[in-house]
Amino acid sequence: MTPEFWVDLLQNTDAPQDPYLLHIFISRTATFPYSLRLSRRGISNIQQIPHFVSRLCTLTVLLGKGVNVLLYLKILYNLEMPGLRCLQLQLTAEACRVMPRLAPLGRAPRPGNFPQLLSLITRGDFLSPILAVPTLKKLTVIGRVYSLGTLASILSHCSGNLEDLELITCHTEDVLTHDTRVSFPHLRRLLVHNYAPVWTRTFLQMVACPAKTRLYILAFESALNLALPSSSQLPSFATVSNVAVSFIVASPSNILRITGSSRSESFIHIELKGAKWGPAPSPHGASYLIPDLIRFWGAHQALTSLTLDLLHRVSVTEGDWRLLLSGFSALISLHVRIDNGRPLLRVLHKELLCPELKELTLTCNNGSGIHELFVLAVEFRAANGSRLKRLVFSRPRDDIPGQSVPWSAARIWRLMFAVETLQMKVPPFGWDV
């Protein structure tokens, strides 16, 4: 069997527990770099073959409950693995539940032990300053961390070259009480998945990322401003030109999803579980969401396209529509999906808001009673020098009694004179004009 066979075997199976067999397997890889998957016994075994460890390129360690984690951590941290590029250290889910928190080992990284380490994945109490080597390009932290201050210290050691940072259900019992700011000049992707209240906002306040950093934020908060710091601390927000918002009324908790993108590769994905529409228990009346959207994006002229998917039993007041359209005066495209489109059309009929708006798409469940108001709103813009280039109207549901009345030919003609391109998606017809 060739050395490549033994390299593949070690990569895809757990390493032998017997030290003699482990020695045989590794020796048959010849001079090739190889990978190992070890349990607690395997860690003790590789300590006895330091001449083979130098070729180790990927190491995965899984420890269960009832083990002396500190002992095995010390063994690993003291090994010299000059070829190691990827290190994955995990406690089992059961071990994470029953074991007390462990203070991290060491106060400074040991780059001499892992001079080529590029990727580090930890789950449990494995994260330590010893491993925060400056060569790291990807860091994934799953589960608890000793403290937020410790996390900040560790990140500061490896922030210079880091391109990908993931914090998944990463939580601490403390709250950062002093000013800490960690800069990531080359970070391309940041994922924070945490359902502990306030934690996500606190962490985001202590990191500085380039505008090109792709942000993925998943949190459990009732409102956007509770999950995020100010937009001035999130430079990628200022470069986003397209924002899509979806508010889903669901059980046991509502979900708010926001995505943002731009031509310059900026990307934002935010998901809040437990989101509240407003102070009222039902998704009606004044909204938390509308003021938050303006707070985070209203001052940025880069935002020119907004999509609102509010079909899930959400009601927006005229006051909130007026606030939204006044706050996003640079909008060129507006796409709205909502049960009741009447409040929006009333605002558009009364005031010339978003003067640069060229494209309007409205999908609503209103019946024929909204047709005249829709035409009047479109004619009002045309008469005041803000003619739409493209207008789309549709209804998502065709089975509501009394709401399938087709548009009159007279109103269709009026719309055709008021816009450049008209697209109607209403039963029983659908056409482009």
More confident residue, 199 or 191: 191
Residues 294-304, mean pLDDT to the nearest whole number: 86
Distance CA 78, CA 47 (A): 9
Amino acid type, 16: P
Of 9-13, 188-192, 354-358, 394-398, the one with minimum mean pLDDT is 9-13
Neighbours of 333 (CB within 10 A): 19
> What pLDDT, on a 0 to 100 scale, did the predictor assign at position 311?
80
- Is the per-residue pLDDT at 268 higher than 60? yes
Neighbours of 409 (CB within 10 A): 8
> What pLDDT, on a 0 to 100 scale, did the predictor assign at position 321?
95
> What pLDDT, on a 0 to 100 scale, did the predictor assign at position 431?
47
Residues 215-244, mean pLDDT to the nearest whole number: 88
Of the candidates 80, 78, 83, 41, which has an alpha carbon nearest to the alpha carbon of residue 58? 83
> What pLDDT, on a 0 to 100 scale, did the predictor assign at position 366?
84
- Is the per-residue pLDDT at 245 higher than 80? yes
DSSP 122: E
pLDDT single digits (tens) 173-182: 666 555 678 9
More confident residue, 75 or 271: 271
pLDDT single digits (tens) 24-50: 767 767 677 777 887 766 676 777 776
> What pLDDT, on a 0 to 100 scale, did the predictor assign at position 85?
94
pLDDT single digits (tens) 103-134: 666 666 677 788 999 999 988 777 788 888 89
DSSP-H helix ranges across 332-424: 342-350, 371-383, 409-418
pTM value is: 0.87
Distance CA 284, CA 287 (A): 8
pLDDT single digits (tens) 323-376: 999 999 999 999 999 989 999 999 999 999 999 999 999 999 887 889 999 999
Could you tell me the pLDDT band of residue 6, with boundaries at 50, 70 and 90? low
Of the candidates 396, 382, 388, 379, which has an alpha carbon nearest to the alpha carbon of residue 430? 396
